[in-house]
Amino acid sequence: MTYDQIISDITNRNFKPLYLLQGDEPYFIDLIVEKLMNGILDEMQKAFNLNVLYGKDSDAATIDNMARRFPMGAEYTVVVVKEAQSLSKIEDLVYYANSPSDSSILILAYKYKTLDKRKKLHKAINKNGVIFTSSKIYDNKIPRWIQNYLASKNIGIEPSAGVILTEFLGNDLGKITNELDKLILTLPEGQKKIHADHIEENIGISKDFNHFELMKALAKKNILKANRIIEYFGKNQKLNNINQTISSLFYFFSKVLALHFIQSTSNREIAATLQINPYFLGDYQAATRNYSRVKTVEIISILREFDLKSKGYGNPSVPADQLLQEMIFKIMH
């Protein structure tokens, strides 16, 4: 089942006796667990009917016994197993999963891993309950996710501000939502849109010296601006790690190379093919005018070369700031 389907079922009090919440992205797992804990029982019922266990401190027999208890003053007994991936001999839960109690709901929060589909336990839960796999969202999808998250709170965001946040925070949704909630609280009264200036003031990410601005400078072959940004990066490596810079540029120039081979003249179709926000298409188009196909391929090779150098291969002593300067020079000349 999808996240939205599960949340809809919880809202409509359509519960299943078993929930296996697994996968690499803990954010959605935590949301579903919280929604279940608060949606099944009220505060008074929780005192007698909510049992929260941790995988490393429990075992299958204890969980089985708790899940078979009759509820007191409530419709269900709820057993939540957090960190279920640490549960020893989790397969022993198959006996309960094959015949779960109608008056209990067992929730397994199995983070950062997935249960083997070939195992009997997986098959039993799939038959009698719900399996949800929470996957990491790719970096290029994060700006849209940020936009949707804020829209749910009636807040807008500049496309460039979303990209800046993504590059700074990565794809850790828990970290992203934490920062977004802080930004919402600091918005001036009556303001319903987050701008790059607001991010700089409250999170400390420079609106002028970031990977987004570097890509724009490179696309337009603005040598002066690119060098200023690289100089800033060199002095602030904790916030602008060279590996992040290389990763961002590799993503950008990979799209530029793809654009060289796209025949469509429709900007909307081109943006859809490249899987980018149409707002940024102009930067990619500018890059195709300034870098030929051959040069773009060369740039991708340069980025691979400096990725290895930044990790110590063939580069025993050159500091990151000098590597950045040399890399940008090779890209633009």
Identify the residue whose tokens are 């010296």: 209
pLDDT at 316 (0 to 100): 64
pLDDT of residue 3: 93
Q: 66, 72, 32: which is closest to 49 by C-alpha?
A: 72
Q: How far is C-alpha 228 from the chain's CA centre?
A: 30
Task: Spell out the per-residue pLDDT of the chain, length 333, in tens.
Answer: 899 999 999 999 999 999 999 999 999 999 999 999 999 999 999 999 999 999 999 999 999 999 999 999 999 999 999 999 999 999 999 999 999 999 999 999 999 999 999 999 999 999 999 999 999 988 778 888 999 999 999 999 988 888 888 877 778 899 899 989 989 998 888 889 998 888 888 877 777 888 888 999 999 999 999 999 998 888 887 777 888 889 889 999 999 999 999 988 899 899 989 988 888 899 999 999 999 999 999 999 999 999 998 888 876 677 888 899 999 999 999
Q: Terminus-to-terminus CA distance in the chain, angstroms?
A: 51
CATH 1.20.272.10 in the chain: give the residue spans.
Answer: 211-332
Cβ(74)–Cβ(103) below 8 Å:
no
pLDDT given at position 285: 95
Domain with CATH 3.40.50.300 in the chain: 3-133
In this predicted model, what pLDDT tens digit does every residue of 183-204 receive, in sequence order?
A: 999 888 888 999 888 888 887 7
**What's the pTM?**
0.73
Burial class (CB in 10 A: 0-12, 13-18, 19+), 313: exposed
Task: List strands edge to edge, sheet with 18-23.
Answer: 50-54, 77-82, 104-111, 18-23, 130-133
**Coil/strand/helix, residue 296:** helix
Find out whether 29 and 109 touch, Cβ atoms under 8 Å: yes
Identify the pLDDT of residue 211: 85
Residues of the chain with CATH 1.10.8.60: 139-203
Is the CATH number of domain 211-332 1.20.272.10? Answer: yes
Class of the CATH domain delimited by 3-133: alpha beta
Residue range 139-203, CATH number: 1.10.8.60
DSSP state of 19: E
Helices within 68-191 (DSSP H only): 94-98, 120-128, 142-151, 159-169, 173-186
Residue 159 pLDDT: 85
Q: 132 forms bridges with which residues in the sheet?
A: 21
